[in-house]
Amino acid sequence: MTVVLVHGNPETEAIWGPLVEALGRDDVVRLSPPGFGAPLPDDFPATYLAYRDWLEAELAGIDEPVDLVGHDWGGGHVMNLVMHRPALVRSWASDAVGLLDPDYVWHDLAQVWQTPGAGEELVDTMLGGTVEDRVAQMTTLGIPLAIATSMAEEQGPAMGRAILALYRSARQPAMAEAGRALENARARPGLSLLATDDPYIGGADTRRRAAERAGARTAVLEGLGHWWMVQDPVRGAEALTDFWATLD
C-alpha cells in the first residue's frame, strides 16, 4: 500500500512534514505539482486539466494500491482525477471537495488572480521580494517557521505563472461544469476533510453536499483552518488512519 500526498498553492511538499511524522508510516510519497516545488516545463499549460493529466501519469507509475490525499489545489487535482480515472486509486481523501459544488464562489484572492493585470500585481507582491519577506507572510498565516522557510525558497516567477494559469483555467463556471461528474468519484471510497475554519473552500453546506454526491464520508476537523496538517497533524492523521482502517 502507498499513501500519496498532493499539496496546493503556494506550497511545496514541506507542508506535509508534520502529518507524515504523525502518520508514522514508511510508504508515503509526496508529489509536487509542476511549478509548486517542482520544475515548470515551458510547454506545460498549468491548467486544472493539465494537472489532472499530470497526476494520472504519476499514479500510473506506482505499482501498489494507492490511498490518495490532496490539500487545497492538490485536493482539487485529486477530485479531478477520481472523477476521470478512479481505477488509479484504492481510496481518496480531499479537503477541497467543495470546489466542485455548483454554488461554490471563488475566494477573494482567487478572484484577483483570475483578473488580468491585478492578478500579476498580486503574484509579484506575494512571491517577489526576499525569502525573508515571503517567510514573514506565511508565518502570519500560522505556518511554522521552518516549513515557511522551506516553501519560501521554492517560490518565485515559475510558481507565479502556474498560479495565474491554474486559477484562470478554473474561473467559474469551469468548476461547476467539472463538478457535474462528481458521482464518478463514488467508484472508490472517499473522505472529505472538513476543516471548519477554512475560509477558502466554501461553506460547510456546500462541502457536505459535494461530499454526498461523491459518495464520501466527512471527517470534521473542528476548529482547524486551511493548514490543518500543520495546525494539528495528529488529528489529521487520526482522521485519515480511521478512514483507511475501514478499507482493510
pLDDT, position 5: 99
Cα–Cα distance between 98 and 136 in angstroms, integer? 29
pLDDT in tens, 95-149: 999 999 999 999 999 999 999 999 999 999 999 999 999 999 999 999 999 999 9
Please check whether residue 83 lies inside any domain of the structure.
yes
- Other beta carbons within 10 Å of 236: 26
CA distance 223 to 214: 24
Question: In this structure, is residue 199 part of a structural domain?
Answer: yes
| Residue 121, domain member (yes or no) | no
**Each residue of 153-179: pLDDT tens digit?**
999 999 999 999 999 999 999 999 999
Considering the chain, what percentage of its residues have pLDDT values greater than 90?
Answer: 99
Q: Rounded to a whole number, what is the distance in angstroms from the first to the last CA of the chain?
A: 11
Residue 78 has pLDDT above 90, yes or no: yes
Task: Mention every residue, 6+ apart, whose C-beta is less than 8 A from residue 60.
Answer: 88
| Residues whose CB falls within 8 Å of the CB of residue 207, separated by 6 or more in sequence, listed in order | 97, 98, 101, 192, 194, 201, 218
Domain for residue 8, yes or no? yes
* Rounded Cα–Cα distance for residues 66 and 219 (Å): 20
Q: Is residue 222 part of a domain?
A: yes
Tell me the one-letter amino acid at 177: E
Given a cut of 90, whether residue 248 has pLDDT beyond it is no
81 falls within a domain:
yes
Is 113 a domain residue? no
Asked whether residue 241 is assigned to any structural domain, the reply reads: yes
Domain span at 58? 2-106+179-245
Counting the structural domains of the chain, the total is: 1
What's the pLDDT score for residue 43? 97
Q: Assess whether pLDDT exceeds 90 at residue 17.
A: yes
CATH code of the domain in which 98 resides: 3.40.50.1820
The reply to whether omega before 116 is within 30° of 0 (cis) is no
